[in-house]
Amino acid sequence: MASAQPIPLTDFDKAFRDPAANPPVRSADVQAVRPANVAPVSTPVVQPLPPLFPEVQTWSVADAQALLEVVEAIGTEGLDSRDYQPDVLRAALNAGPGAGLDEAASTSFTWLVEDLRDGRTPMDARKQWFVIDPDADRMLTGTLMNEALTTHDVAGVLASLNPTHPDYAALKQALATASDTKQRAMIRANMDRWRWLARDLGSQYLLTNVPEYQLRLTVNDKIIRTYKTIVGKPGRTATPQLAETVEGVVFNPTWTVPQSIVKGEGLGAKVLKNPSWARNAGYKATVADNGFVTVVQQPGPTNSLGVMKLDMPNPHAIFLHDTPSRGLFGQEARALSHGCIRTERALELAMTVAILGQGASKDETVAISKSGKYTRVPVKKTMPVYITYFTMARDINGELKSFEDIYGRDAPVLAALDAPRVANRARSTGEKAVEIIDDLQT
């Protein structure tokens, strides 16, 4: 697969066929945690179990046997069969139909659904992960169990939970041939990361893989354009993982300088004392009656946000934008920003999103970009943006590769997959976001 090349604006009608937008659930739209599930049972005996969520349903021997076969082969999906009580289920099958079989099979099925649909890794091991996966609301466990028992297609119903993105299939294929223990562990970890996202990302979206330093515009599972990125430095300003929505495009943006810089780094005083320097740098300072200083950098060639930013409201103040320091895209390692994501060919990206979002025509976006004036173009068709963290994935050429774990986020995931399965897992993180103070140029 050849690397995606920039497409001339005149070719938009050929490249895009008005795919329906499918906005992700915002990171801020936190859903309630589901009721607790039964903790895994290690002793292979049939005994009454506590009530399950969503409920215990009646299982035939044939359906339970099909479930056992799925459990025994679940390693092909990067999960561990021991997590789903195969010995308990096998003993219940030997005992025949009845309450014991119903409870054992319902338990195994419920846990399989949760791990295949939501991911096995608990939230405390997903560092700086603020995505709320909507699948638990879209594919209810009880409904899936009823479907499996009604159609007698247990394997098919469970397989329908797998992520649809081609990268998941590529990782699964790699797992089937991998023999090295460490490599298998990395494949499993990154397969699970796909389950943390919505099963279907939509027909048209932006996805950036932070460790790869690349952004993709994808339409109907095909990469239409790619852009190099600059991401947050490791540490306090590492880029968090989000699923947000582009609601507009800002051309010729202003930049309101954070107080951590205005006051903490003395920029406010410098601007007030050196008006000539401030004017050349594009800074304007305002002093309130109480002495509070606000500094705003005006649109222009020195603006820290460059000539555009994508308006994707979120509580983390993370967005995609341009940069005047475009030479940095020539570096191989580009973890250089204060948290936001800078993109190459940013004006092209801005015009593309504005046109696809039916916010402006090609001619209008050209005129707006050349005006030099702050202009926000709202889009009628919003576009999902996924800020992800995969250390093993297909690159922009379609080849499966490993990427440096620049933020050290692999270790907790690997440890969680080796540890006993955690029941009653939260759907949202309790971790606080790092403080993204600015995107001052490196």
What residues in the chain have per-residue pLDDT under 70? 1-54, 434-442
H helix runs in 223-345, sequence order: 259-262, 267-273, 275-281
CATH superfamily for domain 9-24+199-388: L,D-transpeptidase catalytic domain-like (2.40.440.10)
Per-residue pLDDT tens digits for 38-61: 333 333 333 344 344 558 999 999
Contact criterion met (CB below 8 Å) for 425 and 114: yes
Nearest to 428 by CA among 54, 209, 124, 39: 124
And the tokens for 48?
A: 């009454």
Residue ranges per structural domain of the chain: 9-24+199-388
Q: What phi-psi label fits residue 192: left (phi over 0), alpha (psi between -120 and 50 degrees) or beta?
A: alpha
Supply φ then ψ for residue 367, to 5 degrees.
Answer: -65, -40
Q: What is the pLDDT of residue 13?
A: 41
Nearest-angstrom CA–CA distance, 8 and 367: 17
Per-residue pLDDT tens digits for 110-139: 999 999 999 999 999 999 999 999 999 999
Nearest-angstrom CA–CA distance, 237 and 250: 23
Displacement of CA 126 from its chain's centroid (Å): 11
pTM of the model: 0.84
């009845």: which residue's tokens? Answer: 98
Q: What is the pLDDT of residue 258?
A: 82
Nearest to 295 by CA among 315, 319, 278: 278
Q: What is the pLDDT of residue 437?
A: 53
Supply φ then ψ for residue 143, to 5 degrees.
Answer: -65, -40
* Cα dihedral sign, 360-364-368-370: positive
Question: In this structure, what DSSP letter does residue 425 have?
Answer: -
Q: What is the pLDDT of residue 369?
A: 94
User: What are 214's strand-pairing partners?
Assistant: 209, 228
Q: What is the pLDDT of residue 436?
A: 59
And the tokens for 167?
A: 């990268």
Nearest to 250 by CA among 193, 294, 301, 312: 312
Distances (CA, A) of 113 to 43, 142, 195: 22, 10, 11
